[in-house]
């Protein structure tokens, strides 16, 4: 099995036009397509595929599904068999059901959020083009200087159930975890690619979405992003600009117009996604405040309670 990367988040929003404005003019994505069901597709500057965010018209905020790319078409059959054997229901998704995308397999994590694995994506190219391009494409967007969609954090009542499934069935690698005094996993950071997390699991209600993070080239760009958020009066900038102790990244959180949490961030370390190659860093729960927000050395309870 070879899941090669976290590719996109299909998000539910209550006002698609307001959300599209936000993801273009605040986050810095480009709109790449629309479909007849009213969905909007967007992509970051430095990724060639058709989309990294899909906006679905909905009555409730939150995540519809998370898209992960596999490195070979045959991986889809292998994944479908392995997930079915694990006891989770698999649905085959025909090519084109998600616009710009080939066939896929969809199934819930133990905590309920839907994952969709696929191989083919139509190409829209890099923002600055595919011939003789400028090397500073992220500077060409009207919003934040975002290069790519990097990772997502979802919530689970029992994060260990998701960790077991992701590592044993889908060959994710655990890079960091937070444990309580009894050794139970409170939060987990997992990779399937080359970076320390593609998918993270935090404590909270099953089936909910905590945030998706957009990568930037430097800490300076994150500072520029905060200036932009302030100038555009984007509400509720929780903590930050700050650093996470976990991975040491520079970070700021904010919300889209339906309350789905976004992050601008820079600086995750590299970690090979091959299962078991990198033993995980362990954080005891009493040190979690420093791991979560390094400068403040505190975690507001609401940070994990408030999800969509």
Partner 1 sequence: MQVTLRHANQPEVSFACEAAETVVTAARRAAITIHVACEQGGCGACRARIVAGTVHYPLPASARWLDEASGSDCYALLCRAVPTSALVIETAHPWRHVENSPLSRLIGR
* The one segment of 31-39, 190-198, 253-261, 270-278 that binds partner 1 by CB under 8 A: 253-261
What is the total count of residues that contact partner 1 (CB under 8 A)? 21
Q: Is 257 in the site for partner 1 (CB under 8 A)?
A: yes
Binding characters for partner 1, 41-80, by CB under 8 A (x = yes):
------------------xxxx------------------
The correct pick among 149, 187, 229, 307 for binding partner 1 (CB under 8 A) is 307
What is the C-alpha separation between 93 and 210, in angstroms, rounded? 25
What is the C-alpha separation between 147 and 86, in angstroms, rounded? 36
The enclosing H or E element of 93 equals strand 91-93
Indicate the SS3 state at residue 251: strand
The correct pick among 26, 203, 255, 264 for binding partner 1 (CB under 8 A) is 255
Here the tokens at position 284 are: 């005891």
Q: How many CA atoms lie within 13 A of 167 on its CB side?
A: 22
The correct pick among 2, 14, 90, 226 for binding partner 1 (CB under 8 A) is 14
> Of 151 and 210, which CB lies nearer to partner 1 in the complex structure?
210
Contacts to partner 1 from residues 261-300, by CB under 8 A = 261
Shortest reach from residue 70's CB to partner 1, in Å: 31
* The one segment of 168-176, 189-197, 255-263, 284-292 that binds partner 1 by CB under 8 A: 255-263
> Of 150 and 256, which CB lies nearer to partner 1 in the complex structure?
256
Q: Is 259 in the site for partner 1 (CB under 8 A)?
A: yes
Binding characters for partner 1, 211-240, by CB under 8 A (x = yes):
------------------------xx-x--
Q: Quick check: 263 and 236 in contact, CB under 8 A?
A: no
> Of 63 and 196, which CB lies nearer to partner 1 in the complex structure?
63
Shortest reach from residue 16's CB to partner 1, in Å: 10
Q: Quick check: 220 and 173 in contact, CB under 8 A?
A: no
Q: Quick check: 121 and 102 in contact, CB under 8 A?
A: yes
Q: Quick check: 222 and 264 in contact, CB under 8 A?
A: yes
> Of 204 and 280, which CB lies nearer to partner 1 in the complex structure?
204
> Which residues does 46 contact at the CB level (< 8 Å), separation at least 6?
126, 127, 137, 138, 147, 148
Q: How many CA atoms lie within 13 A of 234 on its CB side?
A: 32
> Of 236 and 282, which CB lies nearer to partner 1 in the complex structure?
236
Torsion sign, CA atoms 229, 231, 232, 238: positive
Q: Is 81 in the site for partner 1 (CB under 8 A)?
A: no
**Residue 88 Cα distances to 79, 162, 164, 277, angstroms:** 11, 12, 13, 27
Give the single-character DSSP code of 159: H
What is the C-alpha separation between 109 and 74, in angstroms, rounded? 21
Shortest reach from residue 299's CB to partner 1, in Å: 14
Q: Is 203 in the site for partner 1 (CB under 8 A)?
A: no
Interface positions with partner 1 (CB under 8 A): 14-15, 59-62, 235-236, 238, 255-261, 302, 305-308
């Amino acid at each position: 099995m070879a899941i090669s990367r976290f590719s996109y988040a299909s998000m539910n929003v209550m006002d698609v036009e307001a959300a599209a404005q936000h993801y273009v003019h605040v986050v810095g994505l480009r709109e790449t397509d629309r479909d007849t069901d009213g969905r909007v597709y967007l992509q970051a500057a430095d990724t060639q595929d058709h989309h990294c965010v899909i906006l679905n018209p909905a009555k409730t905020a939150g995540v519809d599904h998370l898209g992960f790319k596999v490195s070979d078409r045959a991986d889809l059959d292998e994944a479908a068999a392995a997930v079915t054997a694990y006891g989770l229901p698999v649905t085959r998704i025909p090519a084109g059901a998600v616009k710009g995308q080939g066939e896929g397999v969809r199934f819930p994590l133990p905590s309920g959020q839907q994952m969709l694995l696929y191989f083919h994506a139509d190409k829209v190219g890099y923002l600055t083009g595919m011939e003789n391009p400028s090397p500073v494409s992220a500077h060409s967007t009207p919003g934040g200087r975002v290069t790519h969609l990097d990772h997502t954090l979802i919530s689970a009542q029992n994060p260990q159930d998701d960790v077991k499934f992701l590592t044993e069935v889908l060959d994710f690698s655990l890079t960091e975890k937070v444990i309580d005094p009894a050794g139970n996993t409170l939060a987990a950071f997992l990779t399937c690619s080359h970076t320390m997390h593609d998918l993270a699991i935090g404590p909270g209600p099953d089936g909910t979405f905590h945030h998706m993070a957009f990568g930037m080239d430097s800490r300076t760009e994150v500072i520029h992003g905060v200036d932009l958020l302030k100038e555009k009066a984007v509400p509720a900038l929780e903590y930050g600009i700050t650093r996470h102790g976990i991975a040491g990244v520079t970070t700021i959180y904010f919300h889209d117009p339906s309350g789905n949490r976004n992050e601008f961030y820079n600086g995750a370390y590299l970690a090979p996604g091959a299962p078991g190659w990198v033993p995980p860093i362990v954080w005891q729960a009493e040190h979690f405040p420093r791991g979560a927000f390094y400068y403040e050395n505190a975690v507001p309870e609401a940070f994990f309670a408030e999800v969509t």
